[in-house]
Amino acid sequence: MPTRARHGREKEERRQSILQAAREVFFENGFYRATVDDVAGRAKVSKGTVYLYFESKETILALLLLEGLNELVENLEDAYAAAKTLSADERLRRLSRAYLSFFEEKPDYFRLLTATDRGRFQDSVEPSVYQEVLSASLKGLDWVGMAIQQGIDEGLFHCCDVRPAASILWATLNGVLDLMKHPLRREMVGLELEPLYQAALETVLQGLQSRE
Amino acid sequence: MPTRARHGREKEERRQSILQAAREVFFENGFYRATVDDVAGRAKVSKGTVYLYFESKETILALLLLEGLNELVENLEDAYAAAKTLSADERLRRLSRAYLSFFEEKPDYFRLLTATDRGRFQDSVEPSVYQEVLSASLKGLDWVGMAIQQGIDEGLFHCCDVRPAASILWATLNGVLDLMKHPLRREMVGLELEPLYQAALETVLQGLQSRE
Amino acid sequence: MPTRARHGREKEERRQSILQAAREVFFENGFYRATVDDVAGRAKVSKGTVYLYFESKETILALLLLEGLNELVENLEDAYAAAKTLSADERLRRLSRAYLSFFEEKPDYFRLLTATDRGRFQDSVEPSVYQEVLSASLKGLDWVGMAIQQGIDEGLFHCCDVRPAASILWATLNGVLDLMKHPLRREMVGLELEPLYQAALETVLQGLQSRE
Amino acid sequence: MPTRARHGREKEERRQSILQAAREVFFENGFYRATVDDVAGRAKVSKGTVYLYFESKETILALLLLEGLNELVENLEDAYAAAKTLSADERLRRLSRAYLSFFEEKPDYFRLLTATDRGRFQDSVEPSVYQEVLSASLKGLDWVGMAIQQGIDEGLFHCCDVRPAASILWATLNGVLDLMKHPLRREMVGLELEPLYQAALETVLQGLQSRE
DNA sequence: GATGAATGAGCGTTCATTCAT
DNA sequence: GATGAATGAACGCTCATTCAT
């Protein structure tokens, strides 16, 4: 059934083009300033068509967030797997680099994830979806945790508990990205993102290795 | 001119009561869900009066953010000054504690600062105001930087540059607070804020002391 | 031409199944709340197919109304014919009972007939169709009129004109049904439909018999 | 405080002019076809202003219905009171005439009351309001009932129960008005409203007087 | 200075109808 | 003939802002 297959593909393409349009206008104007009209206009479809593919504006946001987060998680997974034979600290460097790459390639997801007023989102979307977004946003912690556990097993780290250690590292990376995500703020700090990010990683690694 | 003075005082009081009302409704409902009607109602003035004292809803937000940030900066300043005779690492512990206190006492400012969709804010407010907010949000960096400089001078830290070191520490503290600010997320991580915050601080301090 | 014939039959079946679906959803949700999507879904055809068989949503309503009215008229006709040998007042009792049966078996037609906002209907449907609905809704009058004429001829009624007499009886029956069609209203009136309906009929019959 | 008083009066006038506009457009187009924009345009105010005075479109309808019904009830009350010294049948004639006058002077209320799809109305309006409308629409029954009770006491009517008798009379009057409210139907029936209405009244009065 | 009535553009969403396949 | 994706006008409603009093 080639026609059916074609139809399916075209539908999926249309869906994707609406999602892409939403990504663009949400990023450009922020979720609240962006209107469904904007999204429709950008995707060159009518407003009604948007609602043919998606339940609501909030649903679109949720999908974008999940898409972004899932991509990040995949990147982390790959980085972790690719560094299978390496030492714990090297695996953590790979994980961190994967996170940085994601940030640099999809900066919009970051803005969306961090800058969207949660209040409205939280109660416009099904609780399960909200939970899913929240939990996906913490997946990174798990991979970092596994690498740190390896480091503890290998005797590299002397801290006694994995979860706090992983949280500290993850929070630090997030903190640096958040601090540097805004051009104006980058300018005010007077540093480049990449070297600072690397330095932060090494500092925390050092700190975790020192016996206290 | 006692009348003029009284007028001035009354005007200022009215202004403050509107700001207070705005604080409450913005915190309760989030900036976008809160309406100017809500603010006026809470302040027991008419909607027109709100616009007599403030240019726009966004201006009010900017003022609240600045207020919060200034209070934080004062706390940091005090903590820094009070620890005048202490060693650099101890001064940094005092600064960190001051930040944590602020977060715990005014958690709403945090939400407002981090969770407000920037798009609308940025271009509804005069650029100078936006700059001011941004720069105030980086004041913490300066105080941390001064303590770290002291640490370098004292030979405590072996890193060569103050600004990156300060940024790393500040970003870490921010990252931890951000990670733990949401109850649901706190639950998912399974840790308490305070011990994690302390551990993060000590880890970074250790990392900055190690020679690389 | 068996193929043609089969096609014709299939077409008619499809048409009927759409009408049946429309009956169901119009009755369940009311005409305005029901959507063409609902009708198509219930009939398990596509929305486009509905428009292949019917000009518009209103046309479907008109057809349903006519169907209902025709059924009523047939019932009245049968009741009239079956009471061929009876006296005029008995024939009127049979006609009335037939009307009541129709109301009790198809209460939804009543709702549709009386509760549908006429505005849209009247000018969404061809004038001839509207006329047809209106005239069908008056067919009952004709049969009642014939029985009353018989009564006049037999010397039972002393009123001089058939049409007013028939109108009065018909209006009374309608009025009672309308008054009692809503459960909440039935409860408020505190009476049962059937005895009230009978009493109303007898009262009017008495009234028509009295010499004034 | 003349200003306050003037303000109040002006506000009330504005309110009334919106109600009047709603009456017009609801009557012209039916409730569902009429849009809030239409109402606003007719009242020469903005759409927002409509919502300043009324909660919702349905609320406006409810108010119009109640207004109409209350006016009717007042008319009936007056007619009943004015006929204090008359015999029961004469009082019923006065009540009926009052009802007819109301119908002729405010035909729109009738259309609105009988032709509005209840489904949507019923669940767009608070249950208490719906109850109120329903109960007001039955107030006429009470006055008719009182006059009939008087007729029973005076020995005029021989029926044993007031409520059915009142319901029959009221239903008949309603049935006639409903039958004749539409010009096209009036034409088809070939009678004038007023004589038919009178004849119906007399017929039922006769019927109620006859011993069965 | 203070009011609050008025505005009107804009919102997210719906749905009868059309039309390319 | 049948489909169902696409349309787009219209809907009821909101709310930051203005301005006559």
pLDDT, tens only, C153-187: 999 998 679 999 999 999 999 999 999 988 888 98
Whether B29 and chain A come into contact, CB under 8 Å, resolves to yes
Please indicate, yes or no, whether residues B95 and B167 belong to a single structural domain of this protein: yes
**Under 8 Å CB-to-CB from A54, ≥6 apart: which residues?**
A18, A60, A63
- The residue among C170, C154, C160 whose CA lies nearest residue C204 is C170
- The residue among A64, A72, A61, A65 whose CA lies nearest residue A170 is A72
What residues make up the domain containing A15?
A: 1-54
Q: Do C115 and D116 touch (CB under 8 A)?
A: yes
pLDDT of residue B185: 84
**Under 8 Å CB-to-CB from D165, ≥6 apart: which residues?**
C203, D145, D148, D157, D159, D208
Q: Which two tokens stand for residue A196?
A: 């600072």
Whether this model's pTM surpasses 0.85: no
Q: At what angle do helices B36-43 and B57-82 cross, to 10 degrees?
A: 70
pLDDT digits (tens, 9 = 90+) for A69-85: 899 999 999 999 998 89
Contact criterion met (CB below 8 Å) for D69 and D136: yes
**Under 8 Å CB-to-CB from B195, ≥6 apart: which residues?**
A164
pLDDT digits (tens, 9 = 90+) for A171-190: 999 999 999 988 888 988 89
Regarding chains D and B, contact by 3 or more CB pairs under 8 A is answered as no
pLDDT of residue C4: 58
- The residue among C146, C148, C147, C63 whose CA lies nearest residue C109 is C63
Higher-confidence residue of D212 and C146: namely C146
pLDDT of residue D2: 46
Q: At what angle do helices C162-180 and D193-209 cross, to 10 degrees?
A: 80
Q: pLDDT-derived band of residue A2, with 50, 70 and 90 as boundaries?
A: very low
Percentage, residues of chain C above pLDDT 70: 92
Please indicate, yes or no, whether residues B80 and B180 belong to a single structural domain of this protein: yes
| Stretch A160-172: mean pLDDT | 93
Please indicate, yes or no, whether residues B143 and B47 belong to a single structural domain of this protein: no
Q: Which two tokens stand for residue A81?
A: 């797997």
pLDDT of residue B118: 58
pLDDT digits (tens, 9 = 90+) for B56-76: 999 999 999 888 889 999 999
Last residue in a domain, options A32, A54, A76: A54
* Residues in C 167-186 with any Cβ partner in D closer than 8 A: 167-168, 170-176, 178-179, 182, 184-185
Please indicate, yes or no, whether residues B191 and B205 belong to a single structural domain of this protein: yes
pLDDT of residue D5: 56
Strand F nucleotides with an atom less than 7 Å from a protein beta carbon:
1-21
Phi-psi region of C210 (alpha: psi -120 to 50; beta: other; left: phi over 0): beta
pLDDT of residue A1: 41
pLDDT of residue A5: 54
Q: How far apart are CA A151 and CA A168, in angstroms?
A: 15
Maximum alpha-carbon separation in chain A: 67
- In angstroms, how far is E14 C1' from D73 CA? 39
Q: Which chain C residues are Cβ-neighbours of D165 within 8 angstroms?
A: 203
CATH at residue A33:
1.10.10.60
Query: Average pLDDT, whole number, for chain A?
Result: 87
- Between the alpha carbon of residue B108 and those of residues A201, B25, B67, C34, the distances in Å are 30, 11, 12, 46
Please indicate, yes or no, whether residues D69 and D117 belong to a single structural domain of this protein: yes
| Stretch B88-92: mean pLDDT | 95
Q: pLDDT-derived band of residue C54, with 50, 70 and 90 as boundaries?
A: very high
A193-197, C22-26, C126-130, D116-120: range with lowest mean pLDDT: D116-120
**Helix (H, G, I), strand (E, B), or coil: what is residue A3?**
helix
A44: distance to nearest CA of chain B, Å? 24
Residue from C167, C196, C208 whose CB has the most chain D CBs within 10 Å, to mutate: C167
Show the CA angle centred on residue D95, arms to residues D90 and D98, nearest 5°: 125
Does pLDDT of C82 surpass 70? yes
| Stretch B122-136: mean pLDDT | 80
Does pLDDT of A128 surpass 60? yes
A95-99, B124-128, C163-167, D72-76: range with lowest mean pLDDT: B124-128
Q: How far apart are CA A168 and CA B199, in angstroms?
A: 8
- The residue among C166, C165, C109, C103 whose CA lies nearest residue C140 is C166
Please indicate, yes or no, whether residues D44 and D119 belong to a single structural domain of this protein: no
Please indicate, yes or no, whether residues C114 and C186 belong to a single structural domain of this protein: yes
pLDDT of residue A108: 80
- Between the alpha carbon of residue A184 and those of residues A147, A180, A188, B138, the distances in Å are 34, 9, 6, 11
Dihedral of CA C37/C43/C49/C52: which sign? negative
Q: How far apart are CA C144 and CA C162, in angstroms?
A: 9
Does pLDDT of B1 surpass 80? no
pLDDT of residue A179: 92
| Stretch C27-40: mean pLDDT | 89
Mean pLDDT by 10 residues, chain D (212 residues): 59 90 87 89 94 92 89 93 93 96 87 67 77 86 94 87 95 95 87 96 94 56
Please indicate, yes or no, whether residues D89 and D194 belong to a single structural domain of this protein: yes
Q: Which chains form contacts with chain D, at 3 or more CB pairs under 8 Å? A: C
Contact criterion met (CB below 8 Å) for A85 and A91: no
Q: How far apart are CA D186 and CA D183, in angstroms?
A: 5
* Residues in B 60-119 with any Cβ partner in A closer than 8 A: 114-119
pLDDT of residue D1: 41
Phi, psi (degrees; rounded to nearest 5) at D139: -60, -35
Please indicate, yes or no, whether residues D77 and D161 belong to a single structural domain of this protein: yes
Please indicate, yes or no, whether residues C59 and C69 belong to a single structural domain of this protein: yes
Higher-confidence residue of A107 and A43: namely A43
pLDDT of residue C2: 53
Q: Which chain D residues are Cβ-neighbours of C164 within 8 angstroms?
A: 191, 195-196, 199
Q: Quote the number of domains for chain D.
A: 2
Higher-confidence residue of C211 and A21: namely A21
A31-35, C64-68, C96-100, C146-150: range with lowest mean pLDDT: A31-35
CATH at residue A101:
1.10.357.10
Q: pLDDT-derived band of residue A194, with 50, 70 and 90 as boundaries?
A: very high
Contact criterion met (CB below 8 Å) for C121 and C61: yes
Q: pLDDT-derived band of residue A118, with 50, 70 and 90 as boundaries?
A: low
Please indicate, yes or no, whether residues B198 and B169 belong to a single structural domain of this protein: yes
Please indicate, yes or no, whether residues B10 and B89 belong to a single structural domain of this protein: no
- One-letter amino acid at B127 equals P
Last residue in a domain, options B54, B77, B92: B54
